[in-house]
Structure 1
Amino acid sequence: MNLASQKNYISFYHLGLYSNKDLLNWFKEEYSKKCNHKLDMGKRCIPFKKFNDIPYDLIADLITKIDVKTWISIYESSKK
């Protein structure tokens, strides 16, 4: 997971969203409930135009959804 400040937006990266369909579906559903604007999800990141657009509480929930052991098992299974 990473936040990066780009020239015109802030990028949020979370590889777990792209490798775990259940986590992605949960995130999309919760995002639509908590945010007033449509989810703009690229191939690698979610861009936010302003700091106030970032759903910090949703990101905090997302952090608790996947732990290090789970991420390692997802990563190792993808290499097979």
Structure 2
Amino acid sequence: MQYQANSVADYISQLPEDRQGPVEKIRQTIAKNLPKGFEEGILYKMIGFYVPHEVYPDGYHCDPKTPLPFINVASQKNFIALYHSGIYAKKELLDWFVAEYPKHCKYKLDMGKSCVRFKKVDDIPYNLIAELATKMTVQEWIDTYESAVKKK
């Protein structure tokens, strides 16, 4: 589902009532635990945490006018999605997350390359999301992005 929102609050207010609380809690969990330097806003029509142009002027290689994305949260038709670019770009982080997930959730991990899908809103692993958010600083993300993702 895509929402036409101008702010995070606007995005959340457009969600179905049963999704507002969980999406807000994920957002707060990330914001509280993310290292300094990331900014929050609407990016790709969802909640985004990203490296601002003031810190990384090159922006995202697909569209340099877009700041460098890091984590996004979205309410999709059948699930809440957490997109984490670090998991996609850094195998050690992916391996850690996959190993930790069963310790925090009773349901099987439903994941794409960078997308973790939460179909059961009563079983979202907020503590694991909090720990995941702490795992990479802005500079570590820029370095990882430049070495693993950015086309040279």
TM-score after normalising by structure 2: 0.50
Aligned Cα RMSD in Å? 1.2
Q: CA deviation at 1:12?
A: 0.8
**Distance in 2, Cα, partners of 1:66 & 1:55:** 19
Deviations 1:37-79 (CA, angstroms, capped at 9, x unpaired): 1111113411111322210110000011111100000111133
Q: CA deviation at 1:4?
A: 0.2
1:36 aligns with 2:76: no
Paired residues, number: 80
1:68 aligns with 2:141: no
TM-score after normalising by structure 1: 0.90
1:48 aligns with 2:121: no
1:2 is matched with: 72
| Identity percentage of aligned residues | 60
Write 1 or 2 for the structure with the bigger share of strand. Answer: 2
**Distance in 2, Cα, partners of 1:64 & 1:4:** 20
Write 1 or 2 for the structure with the bigger share of helix. Answer: 1
**Distance in 1, Cα, partners of 2:114 & 2:95:** 16
**Distance in 2, Cα, partners of 1:28 & 1:76:** 24
Q: Which stretches in structure 2 are left out of the alignment for 5+ residues?
A: 1-70
Higher Cα Rg: structure 1 or 2?
2
Matched-pair contact (CA < 8 Å) for 2:110–2:116: yes
Higher relative CO (CA 8 A, sep ≥ 6), structure 1 or 2? 1
